[in-house]
Structure formats: structure tokens, C-alpha cells
Amino acid sequence: MSSATSTVDKKFGQNDPKIVQYAEQVFVHSDPLLNEIAVRSEKEGLPVIQVSQMDGLHLEVIARSLGAKKMVEIGTLGGYSGICLLRGLQPGGKLYTFEGSAHHAKVATESFKKAGFSDRVEIFVGTAIQNLPKIEPYGPFDLVFIDADKVSYPAYLDWAAKNLRVGGTVLADNTFAFGLIADEHVSDPQDKADVEALREFNRKLADPKGVFRSTILPTGEGLSYGVKVRA
Ligand SMILES: C[S@@+](CC[C@H](N)C(=O)[O-])C[C@H]1O[C@@H](n2cnc3c(N)ncnc32)[C@H](O)[C@@H]1O
């Protein structure tokens, strides 16, 4: 076995789909609860846009390692990633989750009930940026997970920067912009707006003069990951 020295060889799975498959086989186990949520969400007409099971695992493990007691999720959908976060929550803790669609929130309420988490989660229905100020009195928070409308990511980051404790973490999914983040020419107007917002988000999160020390995990979708290092 020769050792890889070039950074080109050090990407997730080293560009070998067999290694990605191996990692999933070893770390991602059968999960009837998450499967039920995915199946019921689809039956209820929700878009199939929840995090992958492995990305859900990243959320749980990061929440656990933080000892998170107060968490915020922006973009609930049917409760799939919410369950992953709740699994990583400390006893006595709470997840505040924000969802624009009343129907999605109803499906998520059922998911949280089935998982036995109803007493540890509160869903706010409506435009997240309008509802987020309602929980500010309960802060500062340990973790903010962003997974909703892409154009609002910079605004969600500003909110997280103000409302996380020092040492708290912000995570954001889809920050490779569905493969478009590094494309010079994005012609579709909606894609263009999303890509520009995601670039602004990553730039702000990575800015050494800002409040975060950050990285981007090379997951399938790109998971931006920042720790608040100063007030
Ligand atoms: C990618 S899905 C969230 C997936 C979820 N985090 C999971 O992995 O299970 C995005 C969700 O954000 C919601 N959403 C979109 N724009 C929103 C907004 N401005 N305010 C609140 N929710 C919004 C959508 O209705 C959708 O349910």
C-alpha cells in the first residue's frame, strides 16, 4: 500500500466510488424510523429533498460532540434531519425548527411524535426570517443547522452569528450549490440567485475577519461548518 502524498488524492473517497460505498456500508446502519419518515413524507407529497442518511449521521455526531442543549433548524420538511439532530441533543435540551409550509410541518409533527421527541421540539410555521426573532430570548444557541431557501442563507448566517454562543456551531447543507458553486456561467435566473447567495454565504463564513473559524466538509452536497470563535 503506497501512501498518498498529493492533496489531489486526499478528497473524500479519493475519487473512488468503491470507497464512498465502503464508508456507507460500514457507518450507515439500517434505520427503520428514518426509513418510515422518508416513505411517509413522499406519500404525503413532500419533495424528496431531505438530507442523506449519512449526512443525518454527521448532524447527530456533531450535535453530540458539542453537548448541544439548544439547537435551531431552518428547513424542517418532514422531520428527517430534525430527528437526527434530536438524537444528538443532551437531556433537557430543545430543538427549535422553522418551516414555511404548514403541510410539511404537519408531517414533521407526526415524525417527532413517532420518534418520542414531541416534548423536545417546537416547530414554527411561516417564513423563517420573520419567525427567528421569536426564539432569541431562549438563546444563545449551541447549534444552528441551515437547510431552507438558498437565497436567504446569508441572512440566516447573520442571525446565527448573533445568536450562537461562542463555541457554538453553524452548519449549512447544499453549499456546493448542486454542483454549480464553481461554475462561471449559470444562466437560469433562479439558479443564479441561489448560487450567488451560497457564494456570499461561504465567503462570509470563511472570512478570517468574521466571528467564525470554518471549513466545508466534502459531503455529497457540501456541508459548510463554522464554529463561533469570538463574540
Ligand atoms: C431541503 S428542505 C429541508 C430538509 C430537512 N432539513 C431534512 O433534511 O429533513 C427545505 C425546507 O425548507 C422549507 N422552506 C423553504 N423556504 C423557507 C422559508 N423562507 N422559511 C421557512 N421554511 C422554508 C421548505 O418548505 C422545505 O420544507
Beta carbons within 8 Å of 50's beta carbon, 6+ residues apart: 37, 38, 41, 56, 77, 78, 80, 81
What is the CATH code for 15-228? Answer: 3.40.50.150
Residue with cell 478528497: 11
Q: Are 110 and 131 in contact (CB under 8 A)?
A: no
pLDDT of residue 15: 82
φ, ψ for residue 38 (rounded to 5)? Answer: -65, -45
Determine the distance from the C-alpha atom of residue 88 to the mean position of all C-alpha atoms in its chain, rounded to a whole number.
13
Residue with cell 419533495: 47
For residue 79, which atom of ligand 1 is closest to its CA?
Answer: 9
By three-state DSSP, how is residue 88 classified? Answer: coil
Which grid coordinates are listed for 85? 439532530
Cα(22) to ligand 1 centroid in Å equals 30
pLDDT of residue 10: 72
pLDDT of residue 199: 98
Q: What is the largest CA-CA distance in the chain?
A: 56
Long-range contacts of range 131-138, CB-CB < 8 Å, 24 or more positions apart? 131/98, 132/72, 132/74, 132/98, 132/156, 132/159, 132/163, 135/72, 135/96, 136/163, 138/70, 138/94, 138/96
Cα(7) to ligand 1 centroid in Å equals 35
Q: Does residue 111 have its Cβ closer than 6 Å to ligand 1?
A: no
CA triplet 170, 175, 179: central angle to 5 degrees? 165
pLDDT of residue 9: 65
Of 76, 116, 113, which is closest to residue 96 (Cα–Cα)?
76
Give the whole-angstrom CA distance, residue 168 versus residue 62: 11
For residue 77, which atom of ligand 1 is closest to its CA?
Answer: 27
pLDDT of residue 11: 77
Give the whole-angstrom CA distance, residue 220 versus residue 204: 22
Query: Judging by beta carbons within 10 Å of its beta carbon (0-12, 13-18, 19+), is residue 163 exposed, middle or buried?
Result: buried
Start-to-end CA distance of the chain, whole Å, equals 46
Interval 181-210: pLDDT, tens: 999 999 999 999 999 999 999 999 999 999
pLDDT of residue 6: 55
Residues of the chain with pLDDT under 70: 1-9
For residue 50, which atom of ligand 1 is closest to its CA?
Answer: 8
Of 159, 165, 195, 161, which is closest to residue 179 (Cα–Cα)?
195
For residue 148, which atom of ligand 1 is closest to its CA?
Answer: 12
For the whole model, what pTM was predicted? 0.96
Q: Indicate the top mutation candidate among 149, 174, 190, 194 to test ligand 1's pocket, ranked by most ligand atoms within 8 A of CB.
A: 149
Interval 109-141: pLDDT, tens: 999 999 999 999 999 999 999 999 999 999 999
Q: Does residue 101 have its Cβ closer than 6 Å to ligand 1?
A: yes
Q: Residue type at 72?
A: V
